[in-house]
Structure 1
Amino acid sequence: MKLSMALNMASRTYKDAVASLNSLQSNYANIMAIRASGERKNQMNIWEMQEWSRRVGYSVSDYSKLNIIHITGTKGKGSTAAFAQSILQQYGSQIRKVGLYTSPHLKSVRERIRVDGAPISEEKFTKYFFEVWDRLEATRSPEDKFPHMVPGSKPGYFKYLTLLSFHVFMQEGCDSCIYEVGVGGEYDSTNIIEKPTACGVSLLGIDHTFMLGDTITEIAWNKGGIFKTGTKAFSITGQPSDGLRMLQERAEEKKTSLSVVPIFNELKNVKLGIAGDFQIKNASLSVALAHEHLSRLNILQEPLELSEDAKLPQKFIEGLQNTEWSGRCQTVKDGQITWYIDGAHTKESIEAASGWFKSVAVNSASKKILLFNQQTRNAGALIKYLHETLYPELKLSRVIFSTNVTWKSGDYSADLVSMNTSKDQVDKLEVQTALRDVWQGLEPNSDINVTSSIEAAREIIKNEKEPVDVFVTGSLHLVGGLLVVFDGTH
């Protein structure tokens, strides 16, 4: 029996793991049905994650060994997590291994689960993936408590990856981890963490309303759900007043404290590893989170003063300078083309991304091009915010609206397959055509292209006869697909 399982494991590949993972995606019809019903996440999500953990071999209390920083928010939570990871890596002599769990991924799903800054290898992803898969196959849940978790069923895509991340970090011996919330907080699958070392909330905004609510107060209630008794919570300065008020109420409810982190003056003269003026708030939040974490582990003894003039440890400065985070305010030079890449899917994030592009490109003599898609949100509203931010100081001579399909053949990169969108809608270029019409109303004289793939969009840009600055924004699936096209490997 053991030999048979060993042979089976040896025969399964990374491609098999990705295909199995993709089979756990909810299809488009199911997602639309949930949205139409008004059904929102509830406590069952947490109970299910606790039960899945038990079946894989863990008590939720086991995860406390990972010493987790837990981060939520609408804009900037991934950047904050990346900054915090880089800071903790500066303490490699006192921390054994740093784990990072984030979403979504850009090119490879392995990016979501990192150890010491690097995505886990294909070999380890495959090994750990099927260990979790096989343990779920071999175990059962009590029917009276979980009647819907029938034999052979698995968690959905994000829940499975969350479960896998815990397994990876436990097996790899990580003793400091950072978890970025997927959606919201209260009912997010990451919120089975019982004793985080610190909790953080980046900028709040309106997003995922069908799950979290239509107002900033409802959204803040969900985000504040990650707060835990005995764990300090931190938020950035400049939160919407109603949102901050709710976060404070949730901190009181959870019997903890919420501190608003100022922008540290010392960081104003530091070149952060992630570009964009707005990143200084995320960097400041990461400083507070990392300092609290290291204090809880007795690695740092001196308290951090939460004032603008606070003196920061040199290792913190070095960590912030060395942070790398692809697809976020990233610049790629390719001959006479300069790509400015930043995914954005909310009003706040599209304004921040557009403001960054304007600041770096407004004085450039190069032709300006926009490459955009946002398949599943109010894309028309987003490009209006984009236009308002750029104009009149910076005008675009060409605009390209593409799908998130990677290749001209109609194929997606295997790690980027998405069943969460309407194939018919994508095939008919419905979103892209609607975006073209919106942009024509804003700028009637613009050259506008609609393309069925990211590869085709890139070819149009490559055929430009003069230097160009290309602003790539909107969906992170577009950003990730473009980076795959840059690599040129199917």
Structure 2
Amino acid sequence: MATLSVGLEAKTGAAASLDFDALPRTYESALHLLSLLPTNRDVTSLFEAPVDNSGKPFDYNSLAIPEVVAWMGRAGYSDLPKDLAPLKCIHIAGTKGKGSVCAFATAILVEASRAEAGSPAGRVGTYLSPHVVSVRERIWLDGQPISRELFTKYTFEMWKRLSEGAAAADPSDPDPYGPHTKPFYFRFLTLLALHVFLREGVRSAVIECGIGGEYDATNVLPASSVTATAVTRLGIDHVAMLGRSLEEIAWHKSGIFKEGVAAFTLQGPPSSSTSSQNGQDGESAENSADQSANSGSSAADQDAALAVLRARAVEKKAEAHTLYEVSPQSVQAWEGVPDAALTGSFQKYNMALAAAVARCHLREMVSTGSDEQKADINSILDPATIPSNFREALTKASLRGRCEVVSSPLQGSQRSIEYLIDGAHTTDSLSKVARFFAKKTAGISPRPRRTLLFSVRDRNPGELLRAVIAGVGQQGFFHAAYFVFPPDAPLLIEDVRLTMQEVSPTTPVVISGSVHDAIGRINALEAADTSHALSGPLHVLAAGSFVLAREVLQELEAHFEE
């Protein structure tokens, strides 16, 4: 089905025939069906050398939305404006913080639905990616991951719908129930999420883009089903698909802007001079470190990207032909929400943006469409006006693998090792997480020992390591650093060793072939330490990718499911 799918079939090879009717309708079987689909990595790798028959670069992006529309048709949703009419969605794109913004917006909508009988918010659905512990984390109902039972039911329903559609389209196919008649993993889950929301009576949905925006599978949402769009902070990521400059990336992300729909953003941080004038010297220092750590993203780059977002709001005919901007200065002046489950000073920026889009959504659900109501939207851009019950809701929002703290008992001892686990994988996000880790462990007495557990996939480890050390603010901060790489990656290993010699030469470097081996070594060294009473407890920062976060949580058996 279309060129991109053909390319995936060529990469992944033909699968054995699937006896769909014989599969037991269990959660394990549903996971098995998902395991048969081409992975997201199979897709992104196509963009690394996209060449057509003439030898010229082939634009796979151009196929994305037509293909997803076709897949929706096969699933029984051939008229999207009509079929998706029951849903009203907040659509979120961006590089950093979009998962957190989705979680915060969901918390506000769930609170609005709970607090008022017959609330226009209705039942709330959320679609996120990636997952860390369980695939069910990607699809929420009323702020909680979908149950195993419902996930199983709807996975089998979607698989059957697509198979029957394939059989009707090609009666000669001997195995229409096989994975070759299905979209790749992320697209399948996108279809599944929308199917779940419609079948479960969801009224308000929060939808996170996967990669980009303009060509993302989630961008099949018609304007009539979207109440607000937002682009979170931008950074350099997925360059093969989105481009190597912030301006190119801004163009892709703003592809979710829609005619007549309010478009929001919160870019920044502001310059240090602006922050100091507002009395935010401590935050100013953090912002300056963010900018220095965010390679290739100077203030001029950020200004140019913001200009692209503004131009795209006009081009896409967003509400009032305007980009609604939550100002970084208003967020700095705001006290934030103390004791939030999603920790880190940077989270208040995500809270402010989430509150703006959620409040816009609630207004749209009861809006008469008057110009007066449209103009009044500016009043929600200031986080200081967030209602108290929504502030309380923000404290409860949570996500796995985002500054998640796990205390791991040390076998045969009364002691434990505390892990801070985060899926951060860009220079900016790693700098923020490292800074949070440094602050979190700074006030502990006796002085704690701190270890880095780090791994990346398909990225430059040296550049990311520099961001971590810039975040903690000093050489020798980590007493040891463990890096997980396969033995057949000598260039990555050499890059890590050379970078650590440059940025933290006194930190011992240990290379492990697996997370299991790395944590085993950490445990063995801690168990053998006889001076812990004097040197303080051991704190481990585990970061670099969501894959690492998943494997660490699995190894620590921290509420791990599958």
For residue 514 of structure 2, the aligned residue among 440, 453, 460 is 453
| Aligned residue in 1 for 2:80 | 60
| Aligned residue in 2 for 1:203 | 233
Is 1:193 the equivalent of 2:221? yes
Which AA in structure 2 matches 1:345?
Answer: H
Contact persistence 2:163–2:177 (CA under 8 A)? no
**Corresponding residue pairs, total:** 458
User: Cα 1:394–1:233, aligned 2, differ >3 Å: closer, same or farther?
Assistant: farther
1:388 Cα offset (Å): 2.3
Say what the alpha-carbon RMSD is for the aligned residues.
Answer: 2.7
Give per-residue Cα distances to partners, 1:420-477, cap 9 Å, x unaligned: xxxxxx3535434642343234333322222222222222222313311111111011
User: Cα 1:374–1:275, aligned 2, differ >3 Å: closer, same or farther?
Assistant: same
User: Cα 1:306–1:117, aligned 2, differ >3 Å: closer, same or farther?
Assistant: closer
Matches within 5 A, 1:355-434: 355-364=435-444, 365-392=447-474, 395-403=477-485, 426=486, 428-430=488-490, 431-432=492-493, 434=495
- The whole-number CA distance in structure 2 between the counterparts of 1:9 and 1:259 is 53
Give per-residue Cα distances to partners, 1:137-178, cap 9 Å, x unaligned: 1114869xxxxx999521111111111111111111111110
DSSP 3-state at the match of 1:297: helix
| Aligned residue in 2 for 1:258 | 323
Which AA in structure 1 matches 2:221?
Answer: I
User: Cα 1:438–1:394, aligned 2, differ >3 Å: closer, same or farther?
Assistant: closer
Is 1:109 the equivalent of 2:129? no
1:72 Cα offset (Å): 0.4
| Aligned residue in 2 for 1:82 | 103
1:351 Cα offset (Å): 1.4
Further displaced range: 27-36 or 357-366? 27-36
Is 1:478 the equivalent of 2:560? no
Further displaced range: 268-277 or 201-210? 268-277
1:184 Cα offset (Å): 0.5
Is 1:313 the equivalent of 2:382? no
1:289 Cα offset (Å): 0.4
Contiguous gaps of at least 5 residues in structure 1:
1-6, 144-148, 404-425
- The whole-number CA distance in structure 2 between the counterparts of 1:150 and 1:325 is 34
User: Cα 1:41–1:305, aligned 2, differ >3 Å: closer, same or farther?
Assistant: farther
Contact persistence 1:64–1:193 (CA under 8 A)? no
Contact persistence 2:212–2:253 (CA under 8 A)? yes
Which AA in structure 2 matches 1:246?
Answer: V
Is 1:156 the equivalent of 2:217? no
| Aligned residue in 2 for 1:46 | 65
Is 1:278 the equivalent of 2:346? yes
Contact persistence 2:356–2:381 (CA under 8 A)? no
For residue 49 of structure 2, the aligned residue among 36, 41, 64 is 36
- The whole-number CA distance in structure 1 between the counterparts of 2:59 and 2:555 is 36
Contact persistence 1:39–1:211 (CA under 8 A)? no
DSSP 3-state at the match of 1:57: coil
- The whole-number CA distance in structure 2 between the counterparts of 1:14 and 1:182 is 24
For residue 15 of structure 1, the aligned residue among 5, 8, 28 is 28
Task: State TM-score, norm by structure 1.
Answer: 0.87
| Aligned residue in 1 for 2:157 | 131
Contact persistence 2:482–2:512 (CA under 8 A)? yes
User: Cα 1:212–1:67, aligned 2, differ >3 Å: closer, same or farther?
Assistant: same
1:245 Cα offset (Å): 0.3
Contact persistence 2:475–2:505 (CA under 8 A)? no
Further displaced range: 75-84 or 434-443? 434-443
| Aligned residue in 2 for 1:416 | none
| Aligned residue in 2 for 1:443 | 504
Contact persistence 2:324–2:378 (CA under 8 A)? no
- The whole-number CA distance in structure 1 between the counterparts of 2:243 and 2:418 is 39
- The whole-number CA distance in structure 2 between the counterparts of 1:375 and 1:309 is 36
User: Cα 1:276–1:28, aligned 2, differ >3 Å: closer, same or farther?
Assistant: closer
Give per-residue Cα distances to partners, 1:399-439, cap 9 Å, x unaligned: 01125xxxxxxxxxxxxxxxxxxxxxx35354346423432
| Aligned residue in 1 for 2:411 | none
Give per-residue Cα distances to partners, 1:339-373, cap 9 Å, x unaligned: 12222111211111112112212343110100111
DSSP 3-state at the match of 1:472: strand
1:485 Cα offset (Å): 1.9
DSSP 3-state at the match of 1:324: coil
| Aligned residue in 2 for 1:418 | none
User: Cα 1:389–1:27, aligned 2, differ >3 Å: closer, same or farther?
Assistant: closer
Give per-residue Cα distances to partners, 1:21-51, cap 9 Å, x unaligned: 1221248677545302354542321111111
| Aligned residue in 2 for 1:349 | 429
1:309 Cα offset (Å): 7.0
- The whole-number CA distance in structure 2 between the counterparts of 1:309 and 1:90 is 17
Contact persistence 2:341–2:395 (CA under 8 A)? yes
DSSP 3-state at the match of 1:36: coil
Computing the radius of gyration from Cα coordinates, the structure with the larger value is 2
Which AA in structure 1 matches 2:461?
Answer: A
Contact persistence 1:362–1:394 (CA under 8 A)? no
1:281 Cα offset (Å): 0.8
1:320 Cα offset (Å): 0.7
Contact persistence 1:304–1:310 (CA under 8 A)? no
Contact persistence 1:373–1:432 (CA under 8 A)? no
For residue 236 of structure 1, the aligned residue among 266, 272, 280 is 266
| Aligned residue in 2 for 1:98 | 124
- The whole-number CA distance in structure 2 between the counterparts of 1:39 and 1:103 is 27
Task: State TM-score, norm by structure 2.
Answer: 0.76
User: Cα 1:50–1:150, aligned 2, differ >3 Å: closer, same or farther?
Assistant: farther
| Aligned residue in 1 for 2:297 | none
DSSP 3-state at the match of 1:471: strand
DSSP 3-state at the match of 1:197: strand
Structure with the larger RCO, 1 or 2 (CA within 8 Å, 6+ apart): 1
Is 1:222 the equivalent of 2:241? no
Give per-residue Cα distances to partners, 1:190-228, cap 9 Å, x unaligned: 000112110011101111110011111111010110000
User: Cα 1:40–1:330, aligned 2, differ >3 Å: closer, same or farther?
Assistant: farther
1:393 Cα offset (Å): 7.1
- The whole-number CA distance in structure 2 between the counterparts of 1:156 and 1:310 is 43
Paired-residue identity, %: 36
Which AA in structure 2 matches 1:180?
Answer: E
For residue 400 of structure 2, the aligned residue among 326, 329, 338 is 326
Contact persistence 1:67–1:177 (CA under 8 A)? yes
Contact persistence 1:98–1:174 (CA under 8 A)? yes
Contiguous gaps of at least 5 residues in structure 2:
1-19, 51-56, 171-175, 270-301, 409-414
